[in-house]
Chains A and B, each alone.
Chain A
Amino acid sequence: MTPAKRWLPFTLKIALLTLLLLWTLIPILWMVLSSFKPNSIITASTPRLLFTPTLEHYATLFSGGNSLWPYLTNSLLIAGTSTLIAVVLGCMAGFGLSRIRIKGKQHLAFWIISTRMAPIAAVIVPLYLLFRYLYLLDTHVGLIVAYLSFNLPFAIWLMTAFFDDLPPDLEEAAMIDGATKWQAFRLVVLPLMTPGLVTTAILCFIFAWNDYAFAQTFSGPGTQTIPIAAAQLLTQTGIDWGKLLAIGTIVVCPMAIAGLLVKRWLVKGLTLGAVK
Chain B
Amino acid sequence: MMSPALFLLALITLVPFFSIIWMSFNNVSLMGGLTLEFSGLDNWRRVFTDPDIRASWLISLVYFLATVGLEMLIGTVMALLVYSLRRGSNIIISLLLIPMFIAPVIVGLLGRFMLDPSHGLYAWILNETGLFDGNILGSVGSAMTAVILMDVWEWTPLVALIVLAGLTSVPEDTLEAAEMDGANYRQKLLYIILPSISNILLVALLIRAMDAIRFFAIIFITTNGGPADSTKIIPIRLYDIAFRFFDLGYAAAVGITMLVFSILVANAFTKLLKRRESAS
Contact = CB atoms under 8 A, between A and B. Distances in A.
B65 interface: no
A42 B119 contact: yes
Given A2-B175, A148-B8, A117 B1 contact: no
A192 B193 CA distance: 34
Q: What does DSSP make chain B's interface, helix, strand, loop or mixed? A: helix
B57 interface: no
A116 B270 CA distance: 13
B238 A244 contact: no
Contacts of A263: 94, 97
A55 interface: no
Instruction: Report the contact-size class of chain A (Cβ under 8 Å from the partner).
Output: 35 or more
A117 B185 contact: no
A16 interface: yes
A52 to B, nearest CB: 18
Interface string A209-220: 111110011000
Contacts of A36: none
A127 interface: yes
Nearest to B103: A210
B119 A1 contact: no
Contact of A118 (B74, B234, B262): B262
Instruction: Report the contact-size class of chain B (Cβ under 8 Å from the partner).
Output: 35 or more
Given A42-B119, A152-B12, A252-B106, A212 B4 contact: no
Interface in B194-226: 200, 203-204, 207, 210, 213-217, 220-221
B161 A267 contact: yes
B19 A129 contact: yes
Given A206-B101, A210-B105, 8 more contacts: A2-B172, A13-B81, A20-B81, A46-B124, A109-B270, A122-B20, A149-B12, A255-B103
Interface of A: 1-8, 13, 16-17, 20-21, 23-28, 30-31, 34, 42-47, 85, 89-90, 92-93, 95-97, 100, 106, 108-110, 112-130, 132-133, 145, 148-149, 152-153, 156, 206, 209-213, 216-217, 227, 230-231, 234, 239, 241, 244-245, 248, 251-252, 255-256, 258-260, 263, 266-267, 270-272, 274-276
